[in-house]
Amino acid sequence: MSKVGFVGLGIMGRHMAGHLIDAGHDLFLYDIKQVPSELVEKGGKACRSSREVAAQSDIIITMVPDTPHVEAALFGEDGIAGGLVAGNVVIDMSSIAPLETKVFAKRINELGCQYMDAPVSGGEVGARNATLTIMVGGEQATFDQIKSLFELMGQNITLVGGNGDGQTCKVANQIIVALNIEAVGEALLFASKAGADPAKVREALMGGFASSKVLEVHGERMIKRTFDPGFRIELHQKDLNLALSGARAMGLSLPNTATAQELFNACSAHEGKAWDHSAMVRALEFMAMHEIGQ
């Protein structure tokens, strides 16, 4: 069994860390808020800082909201870097900027340690059920060394390429998810406004070429009006900002990604940044002056 550090125990991280504890690994835990009591009751050890986590672990995982949070967890005062020894492995499972990821990897490598970026997709449900998709960037040998840990948290696990490529894959994933949410929202809104039962329409579409995980999970959320996260709109906004800023740097146009971001922005303007990202449909409903199911 491994000594594993886990920094960031929010909606996703608390479940992911729990699976590692359940498998018998020694877990050293830190969060800027209190470490969840259920993890301590399972045998996890609460630490006072990210540095303390690193000092007691061979493998350290971060799962925090955004690029600045990863940088602070790694290199800030009492950060992970201060507790590392040569041979440690640092795994960032947050969703952050690919270019900064390469910089972080270089700094960790200079300390004699390996760095892997391994963002995930699947939301709270995937974290709770250990069915996450994990997109990995880093060295093949290190991936082979730690893959068994990934298998405790997810099912579809792919080494995409070198450092930064896992994060690039996650940005691509978030583009696809956002555009699918928008498409499902438009379709169900159209059906509802036309007088059809959106639940029956969704049921019919699930058997055809339009079927998707978004239609299955988020289509149901739209109909049942269950917009508690899940995956918060403000986090998806962050991911689309990475896509759009990266596209500008490369001279690319991502017009539909920009539209999806504007719909998220509209939700945030209605105090919805903490809604589940399926609530993008509410921006469409505001414009239509019609709510699905009414």
Residue identified by tokens 């900064």 is 100
Please report, as a single letter, which amino acid is at residue 166.
Answer: G
**Is there a cis peptide before residue 230, judged by omega within 30 degrees of 0?**
yes
Task: Determine the 3-state secondary structure of 216 from DSSP.
Answer: helix
- Contacting residues for 270 by C-beta, under 8 A, at least 6 apart: 282, 283, 286
Using CA atoms, how far apart are residues 67 and 95, in angstroms rounded to an integer? 8
* Residue 33: Cβ-neighbour burial (10 angstroms; 0-12, 13-18, 19+): exposed
Is residue 3 part of the annotated active site? The answer reads no
Please report, as a single letter, which amino acid is at residue 32.
Answer: I
Token digits of residue 287: 């414009």
Residue 240 contacts residue 174 (beta carbons within 8 Å): yes
- Options 170, 193, 224, 238, the catalytic residue: 170
Instruction: Determine the Cα angle at 241 with ends 31 and 224, to 5°.
Output: 75
- Contacting residues for 166 by C-beta, under 8 A, at least 6 apart: 101, 116, 117, 118, 119, 135, 136, 137, 138, 160
Token digits of residue 176: 């696809």
Catalytic residue positions? 170
